[in-house]
Amino acid sequence: MEKVKNILGKGNSAGEVYMVQDKGTGRDYALKTVLLIHFNKDEIRAWVHLADKGKAPELYSFHLEDNRVYIKMEILEGKTLKDIFVSEGFGQLMADKEKSEQKKCFSLLLLHGLLENFELLREGKFTHGDGHSGNIVVLPTLDVQLIDFGSAKGIRQGDGIDHTNKLKADVVNIIRQFCAAYSGVDFNEYCDALKALQEKNFQDIQKSMTNIPESDRNWLFRVMLLVFDTVRDNHQEGFADTSKAASEVQAMLPPRKDLEDMKKKIAVLLFPEKYKNPHHDPEFVLEAEVNDEGNTLLDDPDLADLSTLVDLKKDFGDLSLF
């Protein structure tokens, strides 16, 4: 016996993904249904491979009923990157110059997380095949998870599939998400991104980045090329081995302690409903709580204020430094 509680999200191929409660156990799960003719066996293989590493929702079960496959899985308590990109918090990250370090940190954390997931899939001999922003979930801890393995493929030699270009496509999609997270601007089409990276020419996209200083834009393009160089030539040695690029990305992040502080600030911006101070009612802001720019602590979280947040403590550990 099951009860549909609400819709978790909408996709193009599966339609709606529902939050369902099992009336017997009381446990909630996410239910996705896929038409049998669209069901791809590698979907489950690639998914379980990544879920075992804690980087995808746990797969509870799947079964066939009539012409549909019913997939039950863990509900991820995060937000898709697509939703983050249109959120108020992300808008603040993009617009507020004082948050430029947080913006850089978020985009690097995302890039690192996506590269880590790509490497894990590649080790298992899989490509994801559909790395758009609706298939990436950021958890409130800022950990990055992948969902929707409907286009995943096992890399098997001699099966007639062009795996080299599939690996390249996964990497280009990762670069696109990084670019969008740092600049708020995405390429129109996959082929535009591929062409710009191949030709090392970002003239078109930078027309939409006039609000970003030239040195920051150049930094962004350098990082994008650093990652693309792992798949530039289909015949190069170590093709699609992104582990070294991932280490270089990690080295660009702030040192450990600063990183933890930064992550908390970003998490409060992107997940205000989770990390909002329950004692803080924006309707009744005390004078002392308004900073020089007239923003409340919620707009511009102050570390002392954050120290009272139970969820933040739970997700990010010891806050004794606050």
Ligand X SMILES: Nc1ncnc2c1ncn2[C@@H]1O[C@H](COP(=O)(O)OP(=O)(O)OP(=O)(O)O)[C@@H](O)[C@H]1O
Residues that bind Mg ion (CB under 5 A): 11, 134-135, 148
Q: Which does 57 bind (CB under 5 to 8 A by kind): ligand X, Mg ion, none?
A: ligand X
The answer to whether 315 and 143 are in contact (CB under 8 A) is no
Residues between 138 and 167 with contacts to ligand X, criterion CB under 6 A: 147-148, 150
Which CB, 34 or 155, lies closer to ligand X? Answer: 34
User: Does the protein bind ligand X through residue 17 (CB under 6 A)?
Assistant: yes
Stretch of residues binding ligand X (CB under 6 A), selected from 41-49, 67-75, 207-215, 314-322: 67-75
Stretch of residues binding ligand X (CB under 6 A), selected from 11-19, 42-50, 186-194, 266-274: 11-19
Distance of CA 271 to the CA centre of its chain: 14
Which CB, 117 or 135, lies closer to ligand X? Answer: 135
Q: Which does 301 bind (CB under 5 to 8 A by kind): ligand X, Mg ion, none?
A: none
Got the DSSP string for 45-89?
A: HHHHHHHTTTSSPPEEEEEEETTEEEEEEPPP-SEEHHHHHTSHH
User: Does the protein bind ligand X through residue 201 (CB under 6 A)?
Assistant: no
Q: What is d(CA 114, CA 175) in angstroms, rounded to the nearest whole number? A: 9
Nearest residue to Mg ion, scored by beta-carbon proximity: 148
User: Does the protein bind ligand X through residue 194 (CB under 6 A)?
Assistant: no
Q: Is 5 helix (H, G, I), strand (E, B) or coil?
A: strand
User: Does the protein bind ligand X through residue 209 (CB under 6 A)?
Assistant: no
The answer to whether 79 and 90 are in contact (CB under 8 A) is no
Nearest residue to ligand X, scored by beta-carbon proximity: 11
User: Does the protein bind ligand X through residue 80 (CB under 6 A)?
Assistant: yes
Sheet holding 2-10, edge to edge: 2-10, 16-22, 28-35, 68-73, 59-65
Question: What are the structure tokens assigned to 143, written together?
Answer: 């950990």
Distance of CA 190 to the CA centre of its chain: 18
Which CB, 10 or 314, lies closer to ligand X? Answer: 10
In the list 42, 130, 186, 305, the residue contacting ligand X (rule: CB under 6 A) is 130
The partner residues of 35 in beta bridges, in order of sequence, read 68
Which CB, 3 or 10, lies closer to ligand X? Answer: 10
User: Does the protein bind ligand X through residue 8 (CB under 6 A)?
Assistant: yes
Which CB, 117 or 230, lies closer to ligand X? Answer: 117
Q: How far is the CB of 134 from Mg ion (least distance, A)?
A: 5
Question: What are the structure tokens assigned to 286, written together?
Answer: 């005390």
In the list 57, 113, 129, 140, the residue contacting ligand X (rule: CB under 6 A) is 57
The answer to whether 72 and 62 are in contact (CB under 8 A) is yes
Phi, psi of 18 (to 5 degrees): -105, 150
Q: Is 127 exposed, middle or buried (0-12, 13-18, 19+ CB in 10 A)?
A: buried
Q: How far is the CB of 11 from Mg ion (least distance, A)?
A: 4
Rounded (10°) angle between helices 88-95 and 100-123: 120
User: Does the protein bind ligand X through residue 9 (CB under 6 A)?
Assistant: yes
Q: How far is CA 302 from CA 49, 115, 308, in A?
A: 40, 31, 11
User: Does the protein bind ligand X through residue 33 (CB under 6 A)?
Assistant: no
Q: Please report, as ranges, the residues that interact with ligand X according to CB under 6 A.
A: 8-14, 17, 30, 32, 57, 73-76, 80, 130, 134-135, 147-148, 150
